[in-house]
Amino acid sequence: MNFKHFMVFALLPVISFYGFGQSNQRSSANNDHSIIVGAARMNEYLPMLKGKRVAILTNNTALVNGVHIVDTLLKKGVHIVEIFGPEHGFRGTANAGATVENSVDPQTGIPVISLYGKHDKPTPEELKNVDVMIYDIQDVGVRFYTYISTMQRFMEAAAENHKPFLILDRPNPNGFYLDGPVLDKKFKSGVGMQPVPVIYGMTIGEYANMLIGQHWLSDPDMKPELTVIKCLHYTHDSLYQLPTKPSPNLPNMASVYLYPSLCFFEGTACSVGRGTVHPFQLFGSPYFPDSLYTFTPKPEPGATDPKLNGQVCHGYLVATQGDEALEKIDHHIQLKWLIHAYQLFPDKDKFFTKYINLLAGTDQLQKEIKEGWSAERIRKSWQPELKKFEKIRKKYLLYPDFKK
Q: What is the location of CATH 3.40.50.12170 in the chain?
A: 28-244
Range 217-227 average pLDDT: 97
Dihedral (CA of 194, 195, 199, 204) sign: negative
User: CA-to-CA distance for 275 and 362, rounded, in angstroms?
Assistant: 28
**Burial (0-12, 13-18, 19+ Cβ within 10 Å), 339:** middle
**Burial (0-12, 13-18, 19+ Cβ within 10 Å), 186:** exposed
Range 108-131 average pLDDT: 94
Range 203-229 average pLDDT: 98
* Mean confidence (pLDDT) of the chain: 91
Choose the weakest-confidence range: 5-14, 136-145, 150-159, 381-390. Answer: 5-14
Q: Does domain 253-372 have CATH number 3.30.450?
A: no
Q: What is the location of CATH 3.90.1150 in the chain?
A: 253-372
Q: What is the pLDDT of residue 203?
A: 99
Q: What is the pLDDT of residue 188?
A: 97
Angle CA 1–77–71, to nearest 5: 115
Q: How confident is the model at residue 33 (pLDDT cuts 50, 70, 90)?
A: low
Instruction: Name residues whose C-beta falls within 8 Å of residue 328's C-beta, 6 or more positions apart in sequence.
Output: 258, 318, 319, 334
Query: Is residue 320's pLDDT more than 70?
Result: yes
User: CA-to-CA distance for 343 and 289, rounded, in angstroms?
Assistant: 12
Bridge-based pairing state of the strands 313-317 and 282-285: antiparallel
Superfamily of domain 28-244: Uncharacterised protein PF07075, DUF1343 (3.40.50.12170)
Q: What is the pLDDT of residues 267-289, one digit of tens each?
A: 999 999 999 999 999 999 999 99
Q: How confident is the model at residue 118 (pLDDT cuts 50, 70, 90)?
A: confident
Range 22-50 average pLDDT: 74
Q: What is the pLDDT of residues 295-314, one digit of tens each?
A: 999 999 889 999 999 999 99
CA distance from start to end of the chain:
40
Instruction: Name residues whose C-beta falls within 8 Å of residue 256's C-beta, 6 or more positions apart in sequence.
Output: 20, 140, 173, 174, 242, 246, 250, 322
Give me the amino acid identity at 353. Answer: T
